[in-house]
Every structure is written in C-alpha cells, then in structure tokens.
C-alpha cells in the first residue's frame, strides 16, 4: 500500500488496512492517549486510542525519523553491537 493512497482513506478503511495487514511494533502513552505504532508496508502509522471513552481518535502516518525519536527507548540494539 502506498502512503498517499492510505492518507486519502476514511478512518474505517485505514483501521481495516492496519488490522488486516499491519504489524504492531510498539506502544506509548501521551496525555490521555494510548498510541500504538504499526508498520504497514514501507511506512509507519500510529493509532491514537482514548481508553476512557474506548474510542480511536485518529490514525496518522509517522516518519521514520519520528519513530526513531519517539520510540528510541523501546529499541533493543544490543544484538547489533555484539
């Protein structure tokens, strides 16, 4: 899937694509959100979930640079260093 095509889909279509074809990688918390990171082909997306209202608020494409910055503490690179 191309990220430009993904961007133009409805929220429901994006979620179906993510849950059927994506791979969940990590999660983080921000304010009231639980944010889950998925890889989807050659790009990454975040699903922003509000646990208290049990609602997915948004789905956003995220750049590799932002993934490395926001999730850097969750990566285990020890195997790469040995």
Residue at 36 is within a domain: yes
Q: Is the pLDDT of residue 78 over 80?
A: no
pLDDT at position 37 is: 96
Measured over the CA atoms of residue 62, residue 35, residue 74 and residue 40, the dihedral's sign is negative
Task: Name the residue among 27, 79, 37, 31 with its Cα closest to residue 61.
Answer: 37
Q: What is the mean pLDDT of the chain?
A: 90
Share of the chain above pLDDT 90, in %: 74
Domain that holds residue 59: 3-75
Average pLDDT over residues 69-82: 69
Average pLDDT over residues 54-68: 94
Residue at 82 is within a domain: no
Number of domains observed in the structure of the chain = 1
Task: Name the residue among 63, 39, 60 with its Cα closest to residue 48.
Answer: 60
Residue at 81 is within a domain: no
pLDDT at position 2 is: 85
**31-49 tens-digit pLDDT:** 999 999 999 999 999 999 9
Q: Is the pLDDT of residue 56 over 90?
A: yes
Q: Give me the CATH number covering residue 57.
A: 3.30.67
């Amino acid at each position: 899937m191309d990220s430009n095509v993904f961007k133009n889909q409805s929220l429901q279509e994006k979620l179906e694509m993510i849950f059927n074809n994506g791979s969940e990688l990590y999660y983080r918390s921000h304010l009231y959100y639980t944010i889950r990171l998925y890889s989807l082909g050659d790009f990454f997306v975040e699903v922003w979930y509000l646990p208290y209202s049990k609602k997915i608020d948004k789905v956003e494409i995220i750049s590799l640079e932002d993934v490395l910055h926001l999730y850097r503490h969750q990566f285990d690179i020890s195997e790469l260093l040995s």
